[in-house]
Chain A
Amino acid sequence: MRTRDAIRFSWNALTGHKARSALILLAISIGVASVLLLTSLGEGARRYVNGEFSSLGTHLVIVMPGRNETSGVGLGNMMGITPRDLTLEDAHALTRHHSVRRVAPLTVGAVEASWQNRKREVTLLGSTSELIHVRRWTLASGSFLPQDDWARATPVCVIGKKIRDELFGARSAIGQWLRLGENRYRVIGIMSSEGRSIGIDVENTVIIPVASAQILLNSSSLFRILIESVSREAMQDSIRFATATIKQRHHGEEDVTVITQDAVLQTFDRILSTLTYGIGGIAAISLVVAGILIMNVMLVAISQRKSEIGLLKALGASQREILGLMLAEALLLSVLGALLGFAIGLAGSWGIRQALPDLQAVPPLWAVLASFIVALASGLLFSLLPAHRAASLDPVQALQGR
């Protein structure tokens, strides 16, 4: 039998029972489409997190006070304070290495900001002019902190958009004196609204020189030191240098944890990838159910088409040819179902992209390939038994319709 005849034969068998074939196609396409849609959501989430992290700045090395020997890096030392503070001098010492491009010391706190009669509780960041480059932020208007001696407590501040709107309303904020706690600071710039940049809501933040913040919060310790390396390769050098320098400055006591942005990113990436695999796998169970349906319908079809198969065999079709015919029919169903599923899945993920532009929901390539292969495999596997049964029919009995 020629291939063309085989395909035509299966096609006729399928179109002969339109409702039945349509339902099987629906079952397969639901399976494939749900795998594509769900993995595209997972992939979108992964890309979103990746994007957030790369907007933090690349080649970023973070020094934080405190180190736990037994438990490693955990939530516990996120807000570590130590007997020996991480100081501004420590941060300064970290600038003296060829692998380091920029260093930004950071202190944080909560203070009350007021202008005339309006008050608002805000997040306070104390840093230097380098911060805006290290974190890749942009200004809406005015200028950022001046390039001054770090130890100089200049009374100036840069404020977030939300603070500008709520305290100053329609009036121009630049040049005004903003009261933070007991002191006054002149507003010199407005941050543009990047919204939330992991961990810190820029819109509700006031940034002042680090020395001013230390006076305001009455503390000489730093919350973090952010280091930007010159290149990706230099990051390991920077880590070694930072660890060694701080240890030397702290009388041989290694009381800081140095991490890279990459390490944090990789953790997130791993978690989200695993989730995506898991969700895709759960959705793929429906493809197995669709496979069972194919098997069931083929069994029915074979008992209905006994005389047809008997005739084919009587005309000289071999067992292999009958087997091939039946498998071709199942394969055709699976391929058509998978293609239909692709169409639905891709349209759905396009819909998600339109509804949530932040989430770049694109089904990953592995999901496309895997769902196609699983759909084909389950179609073929579950049709093996019915096809075998058809092939081993006795032509005489089959022609009699028994």
Chain B
Amino acid sequence: MLTTDFIRLTNSSLITHRMRSFLTMLGIAIGITAVVLLTSIGEGIHRFILQEFTQFGTTLVAINPGKTETMGMSMGVFGSERPLSIEDSEALQRLPQVQSVVGIIQGNAEVEAARRSRRVTIYGTGSAFPETFNMPIALGRFLPDDDPVAPRPLAVLGSKVRQELFGHTNPIGQKLRVGGEAYRIVGVMHSKGQVLGFDLDDTVYIPLASGLAMFNREGLMEIDVLYREGAEEQRIVASIRKLLIARHSREDFTITTQQQMLDVMGSILDVLTLAIAGIGAISLFVGAIGIVTIMTISVSERRAEIGLLRALGATHNQVMGLFLGEAVVLSALGGLAGLLLGMLIAHSMPLFFPQIPVHTPWLYVLLAEASAVIIGLAAGVIPARQAARLNPVEALRDE
């Protein structure tokens, strides 16, 4: 049989039963639409969350007091009998390949300026904070590199606090009372928005030592180390661990690297996307049953035609190929339509639901189309074998 004849024969039956072919394809198309749409949303959320993490840079290592972890949080943050100190963070600064080190204490206090007051998050931190967390400054400058033990009482505002307390007037140089103590404002941070549940704009930054004194704490909650791009992460972690063990005489701290966090988050989100795609694929499976049903019907309808083909010398494999080809064309076309529809819906979604991030990776698109073709093949096997097994004499007699 010539290839052109093969193609013409395969397509002719699809064209003669237009409605039937259309409905069969529609079944597959809906399945593929669901899969493409859901994976697009899954992948969009995946990227959004990774972006939230990586905006702080990927070469970040966090050190928390305490060794035990509960729900991903070290209990040592709340209290530890041998806390991390300012001196620890000073010592880490001297390690090779380390770009910047910043200690953090976080709390909550009332701030007051220009006869307005509100309760906000307070970060006690050092001059390297903007560099370490990749947070730009909008106005003025960040806290200066003062004596870590006796810093000047200076403060930097988050953008929302500035808006609430000062409106559009210039806050630089103004007085600010934080927890009853007087500070002078030297800068305003750029708006960062909500990051993983923390509103970084509703924040006031003060020097670390002032924070420790205000909250009456001896230890830091966290030390963050930014290492140079290209440095080996494992070596950095090992040298941090060695230094802190030497200073504390035992390992009473937890080291978390940004890369670990990213890996864990990434694998969780991959599983989620896969699960959601799997739920969407149920429709695809039902669509495949549709192909089986329609093909079975069409084989029984075309017994005479098959008998004739066989009598004219078409082989077993050629007849089987004809019907398999029909099934694959059905599913491939249906899949293509589903792809287009799915991508169309996915990319018009931001118009209606701007808060849902969407992204359609080409790999998924190809995978979805490939799976449609494979489903067509699998669904076509049973009817195609029925057709190929027909006895030409009996099939012709039915006419």
Contacts and interface: CB of A to CB of B under 8 A. Distances in A.
B120 A74 contact: no
A377 interface: no
A219 interface: yes
B294 interface: yes
B286 A121 contact: no
Interface in B58-82: 65-68, 70-71, 73-82
A276 to B, nearest CB: 12
Contacts, number: 210
A202 to B, nearest CB: 11
Contacts of B157: none
Contact of B202 (A27, A68, A199): A68
Contacts of A279: 279
Contact of B286 (A19, A31, A71, A223): A31
Interface in A184-236: 199-201, 204, 216-221, 223
Nearest to A22: B293
Nearest to A83: B179
A199 B78 CA distance: 13
A81 B293 contact: no
Interface in A43-86: 65-71, 74-77, 79-83, 85
B106 interface: yes
Q: Which size class do A's interface residues fall under?
A: 35 or more
Contact of A286 (B65, B250, B282): B282
A110 B120 contact: no
Given A75-B198, A108-B79, A219 B280 contact: no
Nearest to B66: A110
B199 A68 contact: yes
B109 A82 contact: yes
A180 B107 CA distance: 27
Interface stretch (B24-32, B257-265, B306-314): B24-32
A376 interface: no
A30 B286 contact: yes
B56 interface: no
A109 B76 contact: yes
Count chain A CB atoms within 10 A of each CB in B23, B279, B286 and give the residue with the most.
Answer: B286
B66 A299 contact: no
Given A121-B66, A121-B68, A223 B297 contact: no
Contacts of B214: 83
B280 A285 contact: yes
A300 interface: yes
Contacts of B197: 74-76
B16 to A, nearest CB: 12
Nearest to B26: A292
A299 B77 CA distance: 69
Interface in B280-323: 280, 282-283, 285-287, 289-290, 292-294, 296-297, 301
A282 B108 contact: no
Interface of A: 19-20, 23-24, 26-27, 30-31, 34, 38, 65-71, 74-77, 79-83, 85, 107-112, 121-124, 180-182, 199-201, 204, 216-221, 223, 253-255, 279, 282-283, 285-286, 288-290, 292-293, 295-297, 299-300, 304
The 6 closest A-B CB pairs, nearest first, are A110-B66, A66-B108, A109-B79, A75-B197, A121-B67, A83-B179
Interface of B: 19-20, 23-24, 26-27, 30-31, 34, 38, 65-68, 70-71, 73-82, 105-110, 118-121, 160, 164, 179-180, 196-199, 202, 214-218, 221, 250, 252, 276, 279-280, 282-283, 285-287, 289-290, 292-294, 296-297, 301
30 contacts: A19-B296, A20-B296, A23-B289, A23-B293, A65-B108, A67-B108, A67-B119, A69-B120, A70-B199, A71-B202, A74-B197, A76-B121, A82-B109, A83-B214, A83-B216, A107-B79, A110-B65, A110-B252, A121-B68, A218-B218, A255-B108, A255-B109, A282-B279, A285-B31, A288-B283, A289-B31, A296-B23, A296-B290, A296-B294, A300-B20
